[in-house]
Structure 1
Amino acid sequence: MITKLLIANRGEIACRVIRSARQMGIASVAVYSDADANAPHVKMADEAVHIGPSPARESYLIAERIIQAAKDTGADAIHPGYGFLSENAAFARTCAKNGIIFVGPSPEAIEAMGLKDRAKALMEEAGVPVTPGYHGDNQDADFLKEQADKIGYPVLIKAVAGGGGKGMRKVEKSADFAAALESCRREAASSFGDENVLIEKYITSPRHIEVQVFGDSHGQVVHLFERDCSLQRRHQKVLEEAPAPGMSEEVREAMCSAAVRAAQAVNYAGAGTVEFIVDGSGELRADGFYFMEMNTRLQVEHPVTEMVTGLDLVRLQLEVASGGHVPAQDEITLSGHAIEARLYAEDPVTGFLPSTGVLERLDLPEGREGVRVDSGVEQGGEVTMFYDPMIAKIIAHGGDREEAIERLIDAIDSDVGVWPVRTNAGFLRRALAHPDFGAGDVYTGFIEAHLDELVPPGLPALHYGVAALVLSGAGRGSDPWDSLAGFRLNAAPRVEYGFDAGGERLSVRLAQGGVSVNGEPLQLSDVQGYLGEQGGVVEFVHEDDTLLAAVEHHRDGLLITLQGQAVLVRDHDAAVDADALAGGDAVKAPMPGKVLSLAVKPGDTVAKGQTLAVMEAMKMEMALTAPRDGVVDAVNAAEGQQVNEGDVLVALAEEGE
């Protein structure tokens, strides 16, 4: 049995593993970089070892330092979590050479499933259905284009060593193939050190359904049913649920059996996930799913499986790694429905750019019935540019899908509040409440198809309306409508507030029985307040829904948190307009990161929307475009340079020069 476990990871998964180890009486060892010196996983562990500077490639990805930390602390096992070294066969071999248990599959299984092209060939031999495409060794660009033309568009170009949505491009037509291939290869080489790709037919109306499998060293492999991970943005999962909506017993049996055969084909031991792309154009069919890849590790979304099966997957990993057995298949049953929402430090309004900074406020729905929170940050901690920007996973379980959705929405509405770091909480809430999602009409293009509804253009008018009500007297012992001043001769009383909204003045008017924001009426009634000196809660009815808004008196204004989204409402100051006007002449770094490429030089003529530079930050590549037509006046950065948020990378000459 394992006695001391080193967790070669950070954040919420490190905290998650430590909790299960502690319940099993296993001592834990954390590792940490400079940026994580005061992180929760470091505080939770029995011991902690510093392994290097903040960048992952200089700390968490250096296998030798992880092994040395295990030796120095006497750890007899290493849990890799997910990401970092979790699917690194060389690391697993190094653990074995040093007499350390690697909590995961064998190096041979990792290698067999690590390269998508070889894995697909292996799956065909095992009788697992695979997507039509080219998975061969010929990587000549012209040849790959010929194969794509034969398969028929749209196609997917995928890095053979890829994962997490990296190194993947959808190509709609033949003319776009060459540019997409070059971009995909560049990202694949940067992320995985391998630029080779495969080509697959793109399935229209696709769904992403995966099966949790578990094997042990005694040759037994079982499945723990399926998860639907179709709601994705840029191939990154956003909402995951178990079981999959619309899943029949016939299709479940076919899919889960195929997943077990896939694991058996590589003598799999430990936790793994077999991912399928599924034809979602109609009802699910037993002949309508295709092997996509196998993740030879624990998945981020494993809590939904835990909640519907009652099993602790980390505990089971540790038992199997210690020589134990997996449960018998007939002992594993489904109970109810679970949905997981990934709360990210990112701003949907700015195209989901990651948001960094100190978490001055962090409220999460801890302790709610049927709701679980997995997090690796705490109030007062910092979200940095060095790692994945996930703040927490919020998971709700209910007797059925409808109850799980309701519990998750209620948890976001009542208990999620983050500031000043921006989050996607409001976006998650709108996705959960969308009628098509409620009806189970999920597919990988769902977010793109409904983006205007999930990230509505314009300002969050409700937040400003609530702020005006608070300022007018809500929560001070009387109906705010009765406390309005604003006497006008021969007209109903009216009060107007001017708030700052991105440098422009936003007008909110309150009159007897009504609110308007910039002249647009806002349905808002039955207002009740529960406010003290520091703030409190305002309850009101909006379009037949009773909502709660948390109000906090902030040093710069009123912080209004409503439906998970926090907005700082400030009085308008005309002086802030100047900086916004200057933005038309400059392309600035939206956040700290590295300049990957520059496409212009001083004197070049550019058009509005033209890509001027490409940056990489927090695992994401982003193109920075010209704000207007013009001429490049100066280029203030170099390729490979690290830049800070707000740095001017490219300056345009003033118009008329």
Structure 2
Amino acid sequence: MFRKVLIANRGEIACRVIRTARRMGVASVAVFSDPDADALHVEMADEAWRLGPAPARDSYLCAEKIIEVARHTGADVIHPGYGFLAESAAFSERCAQAGIVFIGPSPRTMQAVGDKAAAKRLMNEIGVPTLPGFHGDGQDARLFASVAREIGYPVVIKASAGGGGRGMRVVQTEDELSGAMESAAREAALAFGDGRLLLEKFVERPRHVEIQFVADAHGNVATFAERDCSLQRRHQKVIEESPGPGVANEMRAALWNATRRIARASAYVGAGTAEFLLDGLSFYFLEVNARLQVEHPVTEMISGMDLVEWQFRVASGESLPKRQDEIGSRGWAIEARLCAEDPAQDFRPSSGAIAHLRLPAESERLRVEIGVKEGDAISSHYDSLLAKVVAWDEERDGAVRLLARALDAIAIVGVASNLDFLRALLRNDAFLDGHADTSLAQDVANALQPLPADETLLLAAAAAGWRARESASIACSDPYSPWAVADAWRLYGEDRQKVAFRYDGRLLECDIVLIDADSFRMTTPQGALLVTAKHVGERLALFVEGRRKEVAVATLPSGWVVIVDGRNYFLEWIETLAPPPKPVERERPFMAPLPARVAKVLVKRGDHIEKGAPLILLEAMKMEIPINAPHEGVVKEVYCGEGQSVREGEELLAWRSADDVA
């Protein structure tokens, strides 16, 4: 077995690999970019080495630096995780030249199946069904248009060199094709360092099912129960479960047989996943992910196996730890991906600092895979995935209920997240009935509405937070002094204070009269209420006129976030003695929503633009983010250039609406 492993990745997968390495007695080396210097994977590893500045091309995608660190530290094996260099045949080859074992298939195998276009050609040779399309070397838009006309729209463009939805665009008409190709190629180059594309017929509402497999160097191939990954946004998975609801034994056997043929035809050694589309009683090969998948814990929960350990053992030349007939499948497992993104803004990635983070307690039935901690800054340079929550039960209904309760217990403040979206998915009737397809997640996102808030409860919680901060600011260091007791005693009269907050564009205000260290009377336009606030661990138990409700209150510089049932409600504090605020400027929609790089400027000064037209394309968190025209108008000035880095809130262009032009 290996002595020391270098993990050429970051986030939760780096932490995941370190845990298994530690259990197996293998020392671990972490690598990090400048923003990740204090990251969780850096803390967990036995040693950690800096790669360089934030951009992935200068750090996590820099093969030379990673191999040099491995040499310096004496690491005899590199685990690439997923993403970055995980499916790079060139990196695998360079590891071999340096005498370092790469945990993954050989460069030759990776070229055969890790590249989507090459994999499609192999499938045609061995008789595994594929979707019609173009998988050749040509990248000319006219060639793609010719194929698209032949097979019929809609079609889908995909990155040849990687998966995860990066560099993937659905094209409905020929007019969209050229622009979609440019955009997909840029995103693919950003994510994988390779902008080559392929084209396929787009199936409208299929199911997405995949087979986990592991093959050793002795000709053995093990396949595991299928995972259903149909719930996706932006063509990226958000909920995965195993086994797949309604997958018949005959279909499962056919998928297993196809997967074994793929592994043997490509001389595969290592862990991989064969992905398929199910359309009625037919299935079509999509791709091979020549690496460990994000959703591998789902398979681990139902099989009882540690797939990272299997990777280590197979890479060291051992046979598979279990024969096919020894691999069982027990119960049901389901995983949700917690991401820093805003579903209300078409899942736009979110960056910022995590001011408050609370997670459910882990158990044999509930697993939390996370790569961040409270206080961490979420960088715009990397993927938006924060954590994965995996639940297991004997039956599907029980696993879904357990996961739903776990998501309700999560609280995160400081970045936008997809928590409410995940909660809504798990309560959707089509999902509960096992009838999800690849369009369901977007349908749920389109219908997602914020739940009505109990404004009285929010006001009481924010007032309690304000009171705690005020008490702390005047606290006396002498515990025996009468001034150290926050009992609201006054020589004359009562202590009455006016506090005000802005919530969701509305003003919430009240008068507070302190009663004792825990209680106060709160008077609002609707009447007077008795409020008692007591700390229960890290939470706050609020008693409002006899009703008890546990909440959490996170303090921010500008106010408080009240967390009720896992949902965030921000109340901005208004200084009642301050002068009135200046008039609010008109909304400026042309500001960078997060730190980003300008990928393309599509307009120039004086251009007349129609509503909805793209103006600027930004790159952040391995994604392209378009800045579109909110209405018809004219570009007055462009303040940014291609390749430029922009700060969050930085103005990108000046605009004159059509009404102003007239």
What one-letter code is carried by the residue in structure 2 that aligns with 1:342?
A: R
- 2: CA distance between counterparts of 1:531 and 1:150? 67
Contact 2:617–2:624 (Cα < 8 Å) also in 1: yes
Contact 2:187–2:623 (Cα < 8 Å) also in 1: no
Matching residue of 1:560: 562
What one-letter code is carried by the residue in structure 2 that aligns with 1:409?
A: A
1:614 paired with 2:614, answer no
1:198-221: per-residue Cα shift (whole Å, max 9, x none)? 221112311111100100011111
Matching residue of 1:524: none
How do residues 85-96 of structure 1 correspond to structure 2 at under 5 angstroms?
A: 85-96=85-96
How far 1:348 sits from its partner (Å)?
Answer: 2.1
Tell me which moved more, 24-33 or 182-191.
Answer: 182-191
How far 1:229 sits from its partner (Å)?
Answer: 0.8
Matching residue of 2:397: 402
What is the SS of the residue equivalent to 1:406? helix
- 2: CA distance between counterparts of 1:528 and 1:148? 66
Tell me which moved more, 417-426 or 195-204.
Answer: 195-204
Aligned counterpart for 1:604 among listed residues 591, 607, 617: 607
1:240-276: per-residue Cα shift (whole Å, max 9, x none)? 1111111111111111111111111111111000011
1:583 paired with 2:587, answer yes
Matching residue of 1:68: 68
Going from structure 1 to structure 2, the CA distance change for 1:579 and 1:215 (only over 3 Å counts) comes to farther
Contact 1:371–1:395 (Cα < 8 Å) also in 2: yes
- 1: CA distance between counterparts of 2:620 and 2:504? 24
Contact 1:368–1:411 (Cα < 8 Å) also in 2: no
How far 1:352 sits from its partner (Å)?
Answer: 2.1
Contact 1:426–1:563 (Cα < 8 Å) also in 2: no
How far 1:98 sits from its partner (Å)?
Answer: 1.8
- 1: CA distance between counterparts of 2:200 and 2:84? 27
1:121 paired with 2:121, answer yes
What is the SS of the residue equivalent to 2:586? helix
What one-letter code is carried by the residue in structure 2 that aligns with 1:611?
A: P
- 2: CA distance between counterparts of 1:500 and 1:324? 63
Matching residue of 1:149: 149
1:144-190: per-residue Cα shift (whole Å, max 9, x none)? 21221121222212232242212222122344334333433444445
1:508-533: per-residue Cα shift (whole Å, max 9, x none)? 9xxxxxxxxx99xxxxxxx9986579
- 1: CA distance between counterparts of 2:598 and 2:296? 35
Tell me which moved more, 325-334 or 362-371.
Answer: 362-371
How do residues 123-142 of structure 1 correspond to structure 2 at under 5 angstroms?
A: 123-142=123-142
What one-letter code is carried by the residue in structure 1 that aligns with 2:40?
A: P
How far 1:101 sits from its partner (Å)?
Answer: 1.2
1:240 paired with 2:240, answer yes
How far 1:332 sits from its partner (Å)?
Answer: 0.4
1:329 paired with 2:324, answer yes
1:575-631: per-residue Cα shift (whole Å, max 9, x none)? 9986754224x5111111011222333333334433221111111111112334433
- 2: CA distance between counterparts of 1:533 and 1:74? 45
Matching residue of 2:474: none
- 1: CA distance between counterparts of 2:65 and 2:464? 59
- 1: CA distance between counterparts of 2:329 and 2:580? 56
How do residues 190-205 of structure 1 correspond to structure 2 at under 5 angstroms?
A: 190-205=190-205
Aligned counterpart for 1:449 among listed residues 440, 443, 449: 443
- 1: CA distance between counterparts of 2:593 and 2:631? 17
How do residues 397-476 of structure 1 correspond to structure 2 at under 5 angstroms?
A: 397-414=392-409, 416-453=410-447, 455-456=448-449, 460-462=451-453, 464=455, 466-468=457-459, 470=461
Contact 2:156–2:199 (Cα < 8 Å) also in 1: yes
Contact 1:595–1:615 (Cα < 8 Å) also in 2: yes
1:342 paired with 2:337, answer yes
What one-letter code is carried by the residue in structure 1 that aligns with 2:427?
A: A
- 2: CA distance between counterparts of 1:506 and 1:530? 22
What one-letter code is carried by the residue in structure 1 that aligns with 2:356?
A: R
How far 1:239 sits from its partner (Å)?
Answer: 0.7
What one-letter code is carried by the residue in structure 1 that aligns with 2:636?
A: D
What one-letter code is carried by the residue in structure 2 that aligns with 1:158?
A: K
Identity within the alignment, %: 46
What is the SS of the residue equivalent to 2:93? helix
1:83 paired with 2:83, answer yes
- 1: CA distance between counterparts of 2:549 and 2:344? 22
**TM-score, normalised relative to structure 2:** 0.85
What is the SS of the residue equivalent to 2:425? helix
What is the SS of the residue equivalent to 1:616? strand
Structure 2 gaps, min length 5: 468-497, 511-524
1:308 paired with 2:288, answer no
Contact 1:598–1:614 (Cα < 8 Å) also in 2: yes
- 2: CA distance between counterparts of 1:7 and 1:157? 31
What one-letter code is carried by the residue in structure 1 that aligns with 2:257?
A: S
- 2: CA distance between counterparts of 1:166 and 1:472? 45
What is the SS of the residue equivalent to 1:161? coil
- 1: CA distance between counterparts of 2:580 and 2:239? 38
What one-letter code is carried by the residue in structure 2 that aligns with 1:583?
A: E
How far 1:359 sits from its partner (Å)?
Answer: 1.5
Going from structure 1 to structure 2, the CA distance change for 1:35 and 1:272 (only over 3 Å counts) comes to same
What is the SS of the residue equivalent to 2:31? strand
Matching residue of 2:287: 293
What is the SS of the residue equivalent to 1:570? strand
Going from structure 1 to structure 2, the CA distance change for 1:573 and 1:637 (only over 3 Å counts) comes to farther
Matching residue of 2:29: 29
- 2: CA distance between counterparts of 1:78 and 1:473? 51
Going from structure 1 to structure 2, the CA distance change for 1:503 and 1:167 (only over 3 Å counts) comes to same
Going from structure 1 to structure 2, the CA distance change for 1:573 and 1:400 (only over 3 Å counts) comes to farther
How far 1:134 sits from its partner (Å)?
Answer: 2.6
- 2: CA distance between counterparts of 1:632 and 1:471? 43
Matching residue of 1:569: 571
Tell me which moved more, 625-634 or 376-385.
Answer: 625-634
Contact 1:504–1:577 (Cα < 8 Å) also in 2: no
Going from structure 1 to structure 2, the CA distance change for 1:84 and 1:534 (only over 3 Å counts) comes to closer
Going from structure 1 to structure 2, the CA distance change for 1:554 and 1:66 (only over 3 Å counts) comes to closer
What one-letter code is carried by the residue in structure 2 that aligns with 1:337?
A: W
1:595 paired with 2:598, answer yes
What is the SS of the residue equivalent to 1:167? coil
Going from structure 1 to structure 2, the CA distance change for 1:47 and 1:470 (only over 3 Å counts) comes to closer
Aligned counterpart for 1:625 among listed residues 625, 628, 646: 628
Going from structure 1 to structure 2, the CA distance change for 1:30 and 1:313 (only over 3 Å counts) comes to same
1:37-63: per-residue Cα shift (whole Å, max 9, x none)? 111111111122222222211111111
1:64-89: per-residue Cα shift (whole Å, max 9, x none)? 11111111111111111111111111
**TM-score, normalised relative to structure 1:** 0.85
What is the SS of the residue equivalent to 1:583? coil
Tell me which moved more, 553-562 or 387-396.
Answer: 553-562
- 1: CA distance between counterparts of 2:388 and 2:339? 9
- 2: CA distance between counterparts of 1:629 and 1:653? 9
How do residues 3-82 of structure 1 correspond to structure 2 at under 5 angstroms?
A: 3-82=3-82
What one-letter code is carried by the residue in structure 2 that aligns with 1:375?
A: I
Matching residue of 1:173: 173
Matching residue of 2:222: 222
Contact 2:606–2:635 (Cα < 8 Å) also in 1: yes
Going from structure 1 to structure 2, the CA distance change for 1:553 and 1:26 (only over 3 Å counts) comes to closer
Contact 2:541–2:549 (Cα < 8 Å) also in 1: no
Contact 2:85–2:192 (Cα < 8 Å) also in 1: no
Matching residue of 2:642: 639
- 2: CA distance between counterparts of 1:571 and 1:314? 48
What is the SS of the residue equivalent to 1:462? coil
- 1: CA distance between counterparts of 2:330 and 2:112? 33
How far 1:339 sits from its partner (Å)?
Answer: 0.9
